[in-house]
Amino acid sequence: MKMRKKSDLPNKLCEVCGLSFAWRKKWEKDWASVKYCSERCRRARSSASVKNSMDVLAIALVKHI
Ligand SMILES: [Zn+2]
């Protein structure tokens, strides 16, 4: 019998923060269209069309603190 590990789940890179994130149950219907690791990243992307990813990363870090 084969155990299914978490690492077997599909992974994607967040377009905002660049971190990889794994498939989640809540995304099972629209995984193909998921581009961000979190709602916060999704909003950050849609509210400000910043092309410089370093700027976005800095903003994300500031919000974290
Ligand atoms: Zn993210």
Cα–Cα dist 34/32, whole Å: 6
HEC profile for the chain?
Answer: CCCCCHHHCCEEECCCCCCEEECCHHHCCCHHHCCCCCHHHHHHHHHCCCCCHHHHHHHHHHHHC
Q: What is the percentage of the chain residues whose pLDDT exceeds 90? A: 55
pLDDT at 29: 95
Mean pLDDT computed over 37-51: 80
Q: What separation in Å is there between the alpha carbon of 5 and the centre of ligand 1?
A: 23
Task: Tell me how far the alpha carbon of residue 17 lies from the centroid of ligand 1, in angstroms.
Answer: 4
Quote the mean pLDDT of the chain: 83
18 C-alpha to ligand 1 centroid (Å):
6
For residue 11, what are the β-bridge partners? 22
Gap from CA of 2 to ligand 1 centroid (Å): 32
- Mean pLDDT for 20-49 is 90
